[in-house]
């Protein structure tokens, strides 16, 4: 792998850019791998990357039915934050956020991490109390957040209307080192680094069956033939129920559509990320100038990667109250992804009833921010059989009643 650098740009500029190589290889599958990861989205690629980097396991294949990063990794609103209420969530999301800080240097690939700050608006008395509680919890967890008053919110976000007719802004939970990153680049950076370690990324290769013997996983059947493995990691988000059924067990998740949209590009007007959970809307401005807007999920099970139009209308209508200028914007594009939601709105990083088969799923509406931490924990679990970060996220927690209840703490914009 050739390194990217200012010198490389200059060198290629002098020879008509003829020397750039492909960022990752597209090999044919081998007969056997030590580890197969199903799903080449952010979480799957991050799992493979940390298996190689932290544990030296590089005989790894990452199998993807479409193209890498083409699912929820390329469909989210790219928000990164770790201001969660519960200790296990704060630990893994803060691990992820701190890894994002120097991921570009780690990869030698610019993921454009922009720690511009995230505000979660409190627009009801209930939210004020909730976010103050979260700020106190974060102080104990070592996550830097603070409660800010409306005047400070207005200073950070001049385009905001504090005296909304229904939901006035009563303050906010401010995480200064939260922000955004380029979502595609996160997947591409991980893929390039995995490929450089000798791992095979097999795109357009769909898993059609999971083979088990005596309760242990031995391989997968794919559209490119059977491939054997010692350990299997399922990291396929919305399709995890479908895949787990192939291995003969069920997961406590439901798949629903989550949508996002962007406006036409406009001049810089908001240099932080703002989330308004009461009205189910969140917004940031991309480097291209588009206002990136996300809302809530649809209410019914769906695998179509498109959502209901009235949800977009609701999201935008809610945002217009808080940001009147949004009413003057033309919306350019809208899209949906299929997110897998668990009963307590927290993810699963877990062993499964099938030996040597592990699952990383259930990130619901908030997976992007967790990618590095999720991969770190999943790799540790797969390599050593135990991970402190992942321990509380076992799928057994529902039976034991040890929920990590973030649906109250984070509302819909998770």
Partner 1 sequence: MLILECPYCGVHAEETELHAGGEAHLKRFGPGASDEDFHDYLFMRENPKGVHLERWRHVNGCGKWFHAARCTMTLEVFGTYTAQTSEPPQEIKDKISAKRPGWTWREFSA
Binding site for partner 1 (CB under 8 A): 239, 241-242, 250-255, 298-304, 308-310, 342-343, 398-399
Provide the minimum distance between the beta carbon of 316 and partner 1 in the complex, in angstroms, as a whole number: 15
Cβ atoms within 10 Å of 193's Cβ, excluding its own: 24
75 or 97, CB closer to partner 1? 75
Helix (H) or strand (E) run with residue 275 in it: strand 273-276
Give min distance, CB of 323 to partner 1, in A: 24
Is the Cβ of residue 185 or residue 404 nearer to partner 1 in the bound state?
404
Can you read off the two tokens belonging to residue 236?
């396929």
* 32 DSSP 8-state letter: E
Q: Report in angstroms how near the CB of residue 298 gets to partner 1 at its nearest.
A: 8
Helix, strand, or coil (residue 88): helix
| Centroid of chain to Cα 295 | 15
Between 67 and 309, whose beta carbon lies closer to partner 1?
309
What is the distance between the alpha carbons of residues 326 and 320, in angstroms, rounded to a whole number?
6
Q: Is the CB of 239 or the CB of 350 nearer to partner 1?
A: 239
- Rounded least distance, CB 179 to partner 1, Å: 33
What are residue 402's phi and psi, to 5 degrees? -95, 65
Q: Which residues contact 50 (CB under 8 A, 6 or more apart)?
A: 375, 376, 378, 379, 380
- Count H helices and E strands in the chain, helices first: 12, 18
List, in sequence order, every residue forming a beta bridge with 253; answer none if it has no partner: 342
Q: Residue 168 or residue 343: which is nearer to partner 1 going by CB?
A: 343
Residue of 251, 152, 243 lying closest to 206 (CA atoms):
243
Min dist. Cβ of residue 339 to partner 1 (A)? 12
Nearer to partner 1, 285 or 352 (CB): 352
Strand locations in 109-248 (E) = 118-122, 146-148, 171-175, 179-180, 200-202, 207-213, 216-222, 225-234
* Minimum separation from the CB atom of position 344 to partner 1 (A): 9
The CA-CA-CA angle for residues 255, 97, 56, to 5°, reads 90
Nearer to partner 1, 20 or 303 (CB): 303
Residues ≥6 apart with Cβ < 8 Å to 74:
183, 184, 187
In Å, the largest CA–CA distance within the chain is: 64
Nearer to partner 1, 123 or 222 (CB): 222
Nearest to 279 by CA among 118, 120, 117, 79: 120
**Three-state DSSP state, 291:** strand
Q: Reduced to 3 states, what is the DSSP secondary structure of residue 13?
A: helix
Beta bridge partners of 217: 212
> Which CB sits closer to partner 1, 229 or 348?
348
State the nearest-atom distance from the C-beta of 276 to partner 1, in Å.
Answer: 21
**175/244 with CB nearer partner 1:** 244
Min dist. Cβ of residue 396 to partner 1 (A): 10
Minimum CB distance to partner 1, residue 165 (Å): 22
Min. distance of Cβ 340 from partner 1 in angstroms? 8
């Amino acid at each position: 792998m050739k390194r990217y650098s200012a010198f490389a740009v200059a060198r290629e500029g002098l020879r008509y850019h003829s020397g750039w190589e492909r960022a990752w290889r597209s090999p044919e599958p081998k007969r056997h791998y030590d580890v197969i990861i199903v799903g080449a989205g952010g979480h799957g690629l991050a799992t493979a990357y940390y298996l190689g980097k932290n544990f030296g396991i590089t005989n790894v294949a990452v199998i993807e039915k479409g193209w890498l990063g083409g699912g929820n990794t390329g469909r989210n609103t790219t928000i990164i934050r770790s201001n969660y209420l519960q200790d296990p969530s704060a630990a893994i999301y803060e691990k992820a956020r701190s890894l994002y800080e120097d991921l570009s240097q780690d990869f030698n690939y610019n993921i454009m991490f922009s720690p511009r700050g995230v505000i979660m608006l409190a627009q009801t008395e209930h939210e004020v109390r909730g976010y103050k509680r979260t700020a106190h919890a974060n102080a104990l967890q070592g996550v830097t957040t603070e409660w800010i008053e409306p005047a400070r919110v207005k200073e950070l976000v001049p385009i905001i209307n504090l005296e909304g007719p229904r939901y006035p802004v009563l303050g906010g939970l401010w995480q200064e080192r939260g922000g955004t990153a380029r979502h595609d680049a996160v997947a591409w950076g991980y893929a390039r680094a995995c490929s450089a370690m000798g791992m095979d990324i097999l795109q357009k290769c769909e898993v059609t069956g999971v083979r088990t013997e005596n309760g242990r996983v031995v391989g997968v059947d794919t559209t490119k033939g059977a491939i054997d493995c010692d350990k299997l990691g399922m990291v396929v988000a919305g399709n995890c129920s479908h895949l787990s059924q192939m291995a003969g067990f069920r997961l406590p998740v439901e798949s629903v559509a989550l949508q996002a949209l962007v406006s036409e590009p406009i001049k810089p007007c908001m240099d932080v990320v703002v989330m308004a959970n009461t009205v189910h809307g969140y917004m940031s401005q991309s480097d291209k100038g588009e206002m990136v807007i996300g809302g809530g999920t649809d209410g019914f099970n769906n695998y179509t990667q498109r959502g209901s139009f009235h949800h977009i209308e609701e999201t935008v209508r809610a945002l217009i109250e808080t940001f009147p200028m949004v009413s003057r914007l033309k919306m350019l594009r809208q899209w949906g992804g299929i997110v897998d939601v668990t009963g307590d709105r927290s993810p699963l990083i877990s062993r499964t009833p099938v030996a040597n088969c592990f699952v990383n799923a259930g990130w619901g509406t908030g997976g992007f921010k967790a990618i590095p931490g999720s991969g770190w924990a999943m790799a540790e679990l797969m390599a050593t059989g135990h991970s402190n970060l992942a321990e509380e996220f076992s799928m057994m927690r529902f039976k034991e009643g040890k929920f990590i209840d973030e649906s109250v703490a984070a509302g819909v914009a998770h």
